[in-house]
Chains A and B, each alone.
Chain A
Amino acid sequence: SKLSDDYEKLFESEVGYDVIIYAGEGPNIKEFHAHSNILFIRSGYFRSAFSNKWAEKKDGKFIYRKPNISPHLFNIILRFIYCGKIELKNLQGSDVLELFVSRYLVKHQAKFLYQKPT
């Protein structure tokens, strides 16, 4: 199996997670579980967000709130952070635009932007 597949499994299984992320607002809020190491390594943004200066912690877990994004989209982004894969055919036009807007989350944004389906 490929390394990226294993990371995707890790993301889905949530084994040993230490980050709780609340994405979305109001009724459309969803809780994600993730691993700070992965986020730390893959994203400069998360590196700062989980640094001692800024991190919010509860019961030994990082708490991170991201209200201005839909859980659906955040799921795609998180998955990309873990394994570098993105399912473009599941995306709608507006999703792509939002992904574009959200690219600050991830360092490796360029790849999928160029693969926008016609």
Chain B
Amino acid sequence: MSSRKQPKGKIRPPKKPNSADAQFNDNWDRLAQAIREIHKKNASILSFEELYRNAYNMVLHKNGDKLYNGVREVITQHLEEVAVSQVVPAFPLSGASSSQTNPNGAGGANFLKVLKTVWEDHTTCMLMIRDILMYMDRVYAKTANVPLVYDLGLDLFRDTIVRSQNYPIQNHLLEVLLQQIKLERENEIIDRTNVKASIDMLLELTDASTKDTVYATDFENKFLETSSEYYRVEGQMLVGEYDAPEYMKKVDKRLNEEEQRVRHYLSQTTEPKIRNIVEEELISKHLKTVIEMENSGLIPMLRNEKMDDLGRMYKLFGRVVKGHDEMKSAISDYIRELGKAINETVTSNTTAEGGNAASGDKQTGATVAVRWVQEVLDLKDKFDKVQNLALSNDKAFQTSFNEAFEYFINKNSKSPEFISLFIDDNLKKGLKGKTEEEVDSVLDKTITLFRFIGEKDVFERYYKQHLAKRLLLGRSVSDDAERGMIGKLKVECGYQFTTKLEGMFNDMRISSDTMTDFKEYLDKSVLEKPKLDLSVTVLTSTFWPMNLSASPRCNLPPELTKACGTFQNFYLGRHSGRRLTWQSNMGTADIRGSFKARKHELNVSTYQMVILLMFNDKQDGESLSYEQIKGESDIPEADLKRNLQSLACAKYKILVKEPKGKEINPGDQFNFNNDFTAPLQRIKIQTVASKVESEGERKETREKVEEARKHQTEAAIVRIMKDRKTMEHNLLIAEVVKQLQSRFMPNPALIKKRIEALIEREYLERATGDRRVYNYLA
């Protein structure tokens, strides 16, 4: 401090304006010199305390602006010099020649390296300058509203070096950066440190007008533009050269590379932008092409169960807006196509079989149904697997798959019947090889198909029929399995759906109790015992699918009629006011037949028993004609034909038919087959219970369903109107549809007809003012 003139060595406030100028010059000279020394990396000779004091004095003596401008000038001069002496000489050979002479961008890399050094020097110096000018920053910069000295340094660097007006530094910098990135994209190794240094530098500099980084204003857009172009070309090339899985791997790799690039040396803000570009150029633009690639696109992947490829496609295409939609619709179309094929094999099978429907080969119908369901289940399994392994159980895909299944399942008008038959098959066969768990899981899957059925009421009708036969003919695997299935249906459709089914079970249980009581009653009774064991199942008519009014009649043999009478007396004695109607078409009988060779026990249907007993009165060799049997037994024609077929044309020929043949025709003659032999003593004459309905039966079922729908529709209308009192036509229709659609899809015409019927019966009336509005009449 030898130059200081204060005698006491104390800092004093300025009192002598004359000496102020001199002091200013003195202070400033020292500082300017010091900054130059700093730039020369000579700072070790400087005293922080002294320089700080100089700056402090200048600011204190209101010379802050002069100091600030002086500093700006010194730094600018220095940077100009740096530009000329260091940066410009490092320019890489520009233009087209550069890539030839410097195939690896070595010139560019060197340029970046020089720039890195220049930048590091600058920032180091600026930190020191900031230290000594701390007081200027704190006091002057704030009040004068100018940038702090470090920021001033950044601005000067930006304008003097990076955006130099005198030298094309900016052009070179951008070109080199883009070139380095391009080299890296083409699998060259580049020095990422140099690139990163330049990028960081651009990130630290701020554009004065936009207040954004120079990275954003000068570099980013150019980078994105070139990337866009690069990937546009690459996309076209890849699509032409690779199959779908390879293509997707390449895209995956590119996306990964770009993400890595951003992480290693670009700004995070660029990440979504560059990702969008790659996604747009490599995915969006080629979506359909890749999905539809022959032999390798989406459908071939599904066909060959390429789960990895499918998963990759799912992840990749999920990145773009339309990606999953395109996939979904392609897969759904494929499901519909496969479903259509399954439906077609069934229809071709049933029509082929239709020709010999009466041939007695009734099992085929059920087999077709079982096969159809099995194939649909297999298809469902396949796509569940795809969904699970490749599509992350995506709900949207699931919905779209379900729609496709629903579509083709309902395209097959027989699907409700088929599904019921399939369940029938499983509940009957269950113990033949499958464990209970296996049956249960099959039935669980079947329930998923059941969900797809639009006409659940049709299913219910078939299910009741099949269940009735299982129960009455004792063919059910187990009560547990049956109840389990009903439980599943209850979960799906609620208790209304299953109350009648459960009622059927109840009837079976009560009947078994009743029979015990009946036996006791007979034992105690003084009446003459029936000559045969009679077992009766009493069914509540509303639960069971049999039609009371059309209940088949037939002339039973007198012993049986008598036994029936005894039971009837017993039963009606206990339950007055009930009516019993005999369903002889549902019964079975054990009878003993004496043949020439030996005696056999025959397990036959009631009808077959009636037919066979007729031959008891005949001499050997005396035949009965079809007409005679029909007239005497009074069995309905279709049932008669079927039962005669079972006796005369099937495996066990108890009767001999003339002329021979598989069909029963009017005029046929029947003889008792005295020569009948069979290895077993006990023989069961098959009457096949479950089979696909014939066209006539189908029509009948259809009519019954339609009739039931009328009632349900009316009930729904009344329920709604009772609640709302008055309602507009379209709203009423919508509400009715809403209430019924879980069972079937009512069409508006049907609803309209029912409304009119209800108006006629004075449940409803049209409003006087508006004929589109209905009132409820209590």
Contact = CB atoms under 8 A, between A and B. Distances in A.
A44 interface: yes
Contacts of B128: 53-54
Contacts of B43: 53-54
A64 B1 contact: no
Contacts of B6: 68
Contacts, number: 55
8 contacts: A49-B48, A53-B128, A54-B128, A54-B131, A66-B49, A69-B11, A70-B9, A97-B13
Which of A48, A64, A66, A98 gathers most chain B CB within 10 Å? A48
B131 A48 contact: yes
Q: Which are the 6 A-B pairs with shortest beta-carbon distances? A: A54-B48, A48-B131, A101-B11, A25-B9, A67-B1, A49-B48
Contacts of A53: 43, 127-128, 131
B53 interface: yes
A49 B11 contact: no
A102 B11 contact: yes
B49 A64 contact: yes
Interface string B41-80: 0010011110011001000000000000000000000000
Contacts of B689: none
Interface string A29-68: 0000000000000001100110101100000000011111
Interface residues of B, number: 22
Given A69-B10, A70-B9, A101-B11, 18 more contacts: A48-B48, A48-B131, A48-B132, A49-B49, A51-B131, A54-B46, A54-B48, A65-B47, A66-B49, A67-B9, A68-B4, A68-B9, A68-B53, A98-B11, A101-B10, A101-B12, A102-B11, A104-B56
A9 to B, nearest CB: 28
A11 to B, nearest CB: 21
Nearest to A70: B10
Nearest to A54: B48
A24 B10 CA distance: 9
Contacts of B127: 53
Interface in B118-156: 127-128, 131-132, 134-135
A55 to B, nearest CB: 8
Interface residues of A, number: 23
A104 B6 CA distance: 19
Contacts of A68: 1, 4, 6, 9-11, 53
B10 A44 contact: no
Which of A25, A45, A54, A98 gathers most chain B CB within 10 Å? A54
Contacts of B135: 104
Interface string B6-19: 10011111000000
B9 A24 contact: yes
B1 A25 contact: yes
A26 B2 CA distance: 11
Contacts of A24: 9
Nearest to B127: A53
Contacts of B53: 68
Interface in A97-111: 97-98, 101-102, 104
A54 B6 CA distance: 26
A97 B10 CA distance: 11
A66 to B, nearest CB: 6
B230 to A, nearest CB: 44
A81 to B, nearest CB: 16
A69 B53 CA distance: 12
A107 B603 CA distance: 112
A66 B49 CA distance: 7
B9 A48 contact: no
A67 B6 CA distance: 12
Contacts of A51: 131
Contacts of A44: 134
A106 to B, nearest CB: 13
Contacts of B10: 68-70, 98, 101
